[in-house]
Chain A
Amino acid sequence: MNSKRFLVTIVALILLTSIMAGCSSKNNEAGNNAGDSGKKEKVAIKVWLTPQWKGVLDATEPGADYDSFFKHAAEKFTAQYSKYDAKVDVEVIAGDQRDQLLNVNLSSGTPPDVIFESVFALGDYVHRGALAPLTDIVDDASKKDIAQSYWDSVTFGKDVYFYPFQNNPGTLVYNADMFKAAGLEKFVGGDTEIKTWTLAEYEEILKGLKDNLPKDKYSNAYPMALYAMNNQGDTWNLAYLRMFGNKFFDDQGNIVLDDANGVKAAAWLKKIKDAGYTNPGPESVSSNDVNGMFQNQQLAISFTNPVLFNNTKADMESGKLKKFDARLANIPSESGDPLSFTYVTGAGVFNTKDEKRMEVAKDFVKFFSTDPELVKSSKNAIPVRSSVAEEFKSEKPLFAAYDANSKYLFNFTGNVPGYSQLREVLYPELQALYMGASTPERAVKEYQTKGNKVIQTNKANSVIYGNQ
């Protein structure tokens, strides 16, 4: 009797699994179906994006979510598309899931057709030959509307591999209230300005904050954020290393940090740390930690980008954060010109080896990257299109300031192969520097040697360098 019951249980369990599996979504692998339902051939493509902004135009819309824009764009695209009966599936993936998902799917021959993400995170996929060039879908009107510096950051070799949509420039953020409390009013910029200080002024600010910040009001507070626990937010560290004029990459895509200017920059970082101008223990502090410290008014100057900055302001408005006067500043340099970089976000098309799907994918990318209504959504970060920046300049006064900075942009990845591995080489050298286990000279030398080794190894497998 019991054995019968046992067998029945197993069969029931298997049936239940099958039923549930049947109820669940079928394998929605993108593919072609030459169906007879319509005259046009059916082509399904898959779009992946990491969380960027909620809503179609902004997060105030009801039901706004990270995929709202792309679902809306897909609807609009399929409604007007005449070549095929296109279907666009949109999936949101977390940034820290991106590489795992892409690598498994690339190895299995099922990458998504389109990916929308920060370009710097995807450069290695270009060098691996996983992405298709998009040069053929870039028209003259877009070339004119989008500044050359943005095109440079999406160009690998001779081809454009990503269609730039918006960007997130990296700057410093400072607590103007803390500046005023330390008697540094003269260095405070306007609230819609990205203030530029000279390096001498910056050092004066750091000293002023260290010496004069009232301890009763700002106990346990430090002048500037410094971190090297991991690769998070390392772009700011890369910028600091350029402070004294080092150009970081040569024309062949090799690291050239090991010169007098590179050593000077590393020595400067060590100097401000030792002088107590930064949070203690930067070797074991992450960018997320310092961001929290800044929001809790324990740091007067920190790193930021438009998304972080807007979120900080929004949290103050909603009462999640105690209000203070947060303003923007450029990363100073010895030359006086601001050090400016940006994370360009855009779409890339994977080389799925399915011509029809790639054609639809490219058409979709071109559609949402050029459609006059859809490109307005780029205002959720900083638009790459001058026309959009112009349209929203009264609503978003900082757009003009960011636009003015665009001429100082440096391409922090150099579009070199193996950039993600390169990131793993920098922070251990900075940790050694801050802990006193390495000298500035040795730190930059080690980084250059190890970094160039990574680049050389990856160049050997790069399609851009013609080695695959």
Chain B
Amino acid sequence: MSHKTNNKKKMERFDVLSNAVVFIFAICSLFPLYWLFTSSLKNSSDVVKMPPDWWPRTITFDNYVDIFKSQPALRWAFNSLFVSGVSTILVIVVGAMAAYAFSKLKFKGRNLIFVIFISSLMIPKEIMIVPLFRITQEFGMVNSYNGMIWPNVATAFGVFLLKGFFDATPNALREASRIDGAGEWRTFLQIMLPIVKPGIGALFILNFVQVWNDYLWQLVIGQEKSMKTLMVGTATLMQDLNPNFAYKMAGATVAAIPMLLIFLLFQRYFTQGMTAGAVKE
């Protein structure tokens, strides 16, 4: 009995300790967000003050007023949302179909083509910027949503991620569906796709974040003021000689809020997607 009580006490102590460690890590993770938000309510010189003000001495909303009043920040926010949203949906559509094909369909050169696909992930986008820009330019897509969206769709990441999920689904399901008379499309859409929903959720978040945060491509392609994304637009307002850090913090806060909402909405799928397939049953 006393042995059990001792064990229980030990466990409780361990719980307290592990909770304390987790709490410290959570604080460390959340601190940059806190700092971002509070700095956006300061004036520029207070942002770099040493020792820092942990809470703004005087709160000012001027930075937000400046962003939304004197600049087309709402248009920039729409551009960011539209480009990230449409790119991500297209990546999911294309990626799911390709991943299904690589995982379940048998065709000549399947593995070789998949390896070529995966190899493209190893090439940093920066290397492709100039040729990609020239191609986009030839298509007349500079300063257009087409130019901002389509190059982001041509990524093998979605295929790579979703293939793993399709691989984890039993072949018997597909075979049963075919025996019951369902065609390949119907099997894909009604049987297989719902099973890989957690993977699609994870892909949605990862791809959305990646396109939302994309700076270089959106910078070179959206050169007109009205075609900038939030990331690029707010950076444009920084003067070299007089950098207003609080202004940049306000821009980053505005840019971060939709991301936080997206994450909160899709968090369930994201965590499911991360753990799915980890245990073989």
Name the contact of A289 in the complex, choosing from B48, B70, B134, B140 (C-beta under 8 A). Answer: B48
* CB within 8 Å of B: which A307-334 residues: 307-308, 311, 315, 320-321
Whether A295 touches B45, Cβ cut-off 8 Å, given contacts A26-B143, A27-B141, A307-B241, is: yes
State which residues 40-63 of B face A: CB under 8 Å.
43-51, 60
- Asked if B89 and A94 sit within 8 Å, CB to CB, the answer is no
List chain A residues, Cβ under 8 A from B51: 220
Interface residue from B143, B149, B185, B237 paired with A51 (Cβ < 8 Å):
B237
In the bound complex, what is the Cα–Cα distance between A391 and B279 (angstroms)?
A: 80
Task: Report B-chain residues with C-beta under 8 Å of the C-beta of A320.
Answer: 43-45, 60
Among residues of A, the one whose C-beta sits closest to the C-beta of B60 is A320
A27-B137 in contact (CB<8A): yes
Quick check: which of B12-20, B99-107, B158-166, B215-223 contacts chain A, the rest being far away? B215-223
| Contact assessment for B137 and A168 in the assembled complex, using a CB-CB cutoff below 8 Å | no
Chain B residues closer than 8 Å to A292, beta-carbon distance: 44-50
Annotate B80-103 by CB proximity to A: 1 below 8 A, 0 otherwise. Answer: 001000100110010000000000
Of A92, A100, A293, which contacts B48 at CB under 8 A? A293
A67–B226 CA distance with the chains assembled, in angstroms: 14
Instruction: Tell yes or no: B204 within 8 A of A by CB.
Output: no
A179 to chain B, nearest CB (A): 20
Say how far B138's CB is from chain A's closest CB, in angstroms.
Answer: 10
Pairwise interchain contact A2-B190, C-beta atoms closer than 8 A: yes
Question: Is the CB–CB distance between A97 and B219 below 8 Å?
Answer: yes
Cα A445 to Cα B36 in complex, Å, equals 42
Interface residue B151 (Cβ < 8 Å from any Cβ of A)? no
A25 with B144, Cβ < 8 A, contacts A104-B129, A110-B137, A320-B60 known: yes
For A92, list chain B residues within 8 Å (CB).
225, 236
Q: Report A4 CB to chain B, min CB distance, Å.
A: 10
Residue of B nearest to A22 (CB): B144
A27 to B148, CA, bound (A): 12
CA distance A25 to B145 in the complex (A): 9
Interface window among A12-20, A198-206, A258-266, A346-354: A12-20
B175 within 8 Å of A (CB atoms): no
* Contacting pair A91 B90 (CB below 8 A): no
Interface: B142 (CB within 8 A): yes
CA distance in complex: A320, B57 (Å)? 11
Assuming the contacts A92-B236, A292-B44, A315-B45, asked whether A104 and B130 have C-beta atoms less than 8 A apart, the reply is: yes
Which residues of A286-317 are within 8 A (CB) of B? Answer: 288-289, 291-293, 295-296, 298, 305, 307-308, 311, 315
Does A80 belong to the interface (CB within 8 Å)? no
Residues A296 and B45 in contact, CB atoms below 8 Å apart: yes
B220 is contacted by which of A2, A20, A94, A101 (Cβ under 8 Å)? A101
Q: Is A34 an interface residue (CB 8 A)?
A: no
Taking a contact as CB atoms under 8 Å apart, the answer to whether A296 and B49 are in contact is yes
Instruction: Assess whether A100 is in contact with B241, with CB atoms less than 8 Å apart.
Output: no
Residue-wise, chain B 174-210 has the 8 Å CB interface mask toward A (1 for contact) of 0000000000011001100000000000000000000
Q: Which single member of B140, B190, B241 contacts A26 (CB below 8 Å)?
A: B140
Q: Is the C-beta of B238 less than 8 angstroms from some C-beta in chain A?
A: yes
Chain A nearest Cβ from B261, distance in angstroms = 22
**B73 interface hit (Cβ, 8 Å):** no
Measured CA separation A110–B86 after assembly (Å): 28
A221 to nearest B CB, angstroms? 11
Asked if residues A50 and B45 are in contact (CB atoms below 8 Å), the reply is: no
A7-33 CB mask vs B (1 if < 8 Å, else 0) is 000100100111011001111110000
Q: In the complex, how many angstroms separate the beta carbon of A427 from the nearest chain B beta carbon?
A: 17
Q: Is A3 positioned at the interface, with any CB of B under 8 Å from its CB?
A: yes
B245 vs chain A, min Cβ distance (A): 7
Once bound together, how far apart are the Cα atoms of A67 and B240, in whole Å?
15
Which A residues are in CB contact (< 8 Å) with B252? none
Chain A: number of interface residues, binned into ranges: 35 or more
Which residues on A sit within 8 Å (CB–CB) of B219?
97, 100-101
Contact B145 A17, beta carbon cutoff 8 Å: yes
**Who on chain B is nearest to A118 by CB?**
B240
Selected contact of B133 from candidates A108, A168, A293, CB within 8 Å: A108
Asked if B239 lies at the interface with its beta carbon under 8 angstroms from chain A, I say yes
Q: Which residues of B contact A308 (CB under 8 A)?
A: 241-242
Q: Are B137 and A16 in contact (CB under 8 A)?
A: no
- A108-B137 contact in complex given A3-B189, A6-B189, C-beta closer than 8 Å: yes
Complex contact A17–B238 (CB within 8 A):
no
Contacts of B225 in A (CB 8 A): 67, 91-92
Which residues of chain A are within 8 angstroms of B137 by Cβ–Cβ distance?
A: 27, 29, 108, 110
In the assembled complex, B243 has its CB within 8 A of some CB on chain A? yes
- Contact at B227–A24, with CB atoms within 8 Å? yes
Please state if B143 and A25 are interface contacts (CB–CB under 8 Å): yes
Render B234-264 as a binary contact track against A, CB cut-off 8 A, 1 for contact: 0111111111010000000000000000000
Q: Which residues of the other chain, A, contact B82 by a CB distance below 8 angstroms? A: 20
Complex Cα spacing A320 to B224, Å: 32
The answer to whether the Cβ of A148 comes within 8 Å of any Cβ in the partner chain is no
Q: In the bound complex, what is the Cα–Cα distance between A440 and B224 (angstroms)?
A: 48
A25 to B49, CA, bound (A): 42
Set of chain B residues within 8 Å of A95, measured between Cβ atoms: 238-240
Q: Flag whether A65 is at the interface (Cβ < 8 A).
A: yes
Would B238 and A16 count as touching, CB distance under 8 A?
no
Taking the closest CB of chain A, its distance from the CB of B9, in whole angstroms, is 47
User: A3 touching B89 by the CB < 8 A rule?
Assistant: no
Q: How far is the CA of A159 from the CA of B252 in the complex (A)?
A: 43
**Complex alpha-carbon distance, A315 and B42, angstroms:** 13
Q: Determine if B146 is an interface residue (Cβ-Cβ < 8 Å).
A: yes
> Is A335 located at the chain interface by the 8 A CB criterion?
no
Assess A17 versus B48: contact at CB under 8 Å? Given A93-B236, A94-B238, A95-B239. no
Of B90, B144, B186, B190, the residue contacting A21 (CB under 8 A) is B144
The closest CB in chain A to the CB of B236 belongs to: A94
Roughly how many angstroms separate A321 CA and B244 CA in the complex, as a whole number?
A: 13
Give the top 3 A-B pairs by smallest Cβ distance, nearest first: A292-B48, A95-B240, A295-B45
**A to B CB contacts below 8 Å, 24 in the list:** A6-B189, A17-B86, A24-B143, A25-B144, A27-B137, A28-B224, A50-B239, A51-B237, A52-B239, A100-B219, A101-B219, A101-B220, A104-B129, A107-B133, A108-B133, A168-B241, A220-B50, A220-B51, A289-B50, A291-B45, A292-B47, A292-B48, A298-B50, A315-B44
* New A-B contacts (8) at CB < 8 Å, excluding given A94-B235, A94-B236: A13-B89, A27-B144, A28-B142, A51-B236, A100-B216, A168-B241, A220-B51, A292-B47
